[in-house]
Amino acid sequence: MGHSLIKFSRYKLSSLPILVVSYLYLKGRWSWLPGLSCPVRHLTGIPCPGCFLTRSVSLALNGQLSDSLDLHVLGPPTAVGLVAWSIASLRYKRFYWSKSCQMILVMSAILALMIWTVRVIFQFGLGIQAFPIT
């Protein structure tokens, strides 16, 4: 009994990435679906490194690459990574996480911080529009 419960939990967790991708795909189709708003941007007025990434990923999953790139340059690569992670989790029938996944996440976070820094300098230092107008 306990063993089957563990198996069920692992299988349930293996579905989590595909559920996230499915939600993001649907969010790109129907923007009225609920989502989270950035607390950093609301408190400081400055978008965080992940601001506009959810919408960008949603648009990329729906094939709207130009609009996706306008919001966040990391949207399409993140969409591809999420789909690959979903496939791996379903294939291995568990919540897939490896050293490669960890390294990709760290490198992506560093890249996101670098892109964000450039955007902040352009937007707030030079007065050049670098973030989408919302």
Q: pLDDT digit string (tens) for 102-126?
A: 899 899 999 999 999 999 999 999 9
Q: How far apart are CA 121 and CA 102, in angstroms?
A: 29
Q: Which of 24, 107, 19 is nearest to 61 (CA)?
A: 24
pTM for this entry: 0.81
pLDDT of residue 39: 87
What does the pLDDT average to over 51-71? 93
- pLDDT at res. 90: 83
Q: Which positions ≥6 away from 104 have C-beta within 8 Å?
A: 81
- CA distance between the termini of the chain: 52
What pLDDT digit, counting tens, does each position of 66-83 carry? 999 999 999 999 999 999
Please give the distance of CA 108 from its chain centroid, rounded to a whole number. Answer: 11
Q: Alpha-carbon distance 61 to 13, whole Å?
A: 22
pLDDT of residue 116: 94
Predicted local confidence at residue 10, as pLDDT: 54
**Per residue in 22-51, pLDDT tens?**
999 998 888 888 887 888 888 988 889 988
pLDDT at position 64 is: 93
Residue 86 has which token pair?
């979903």
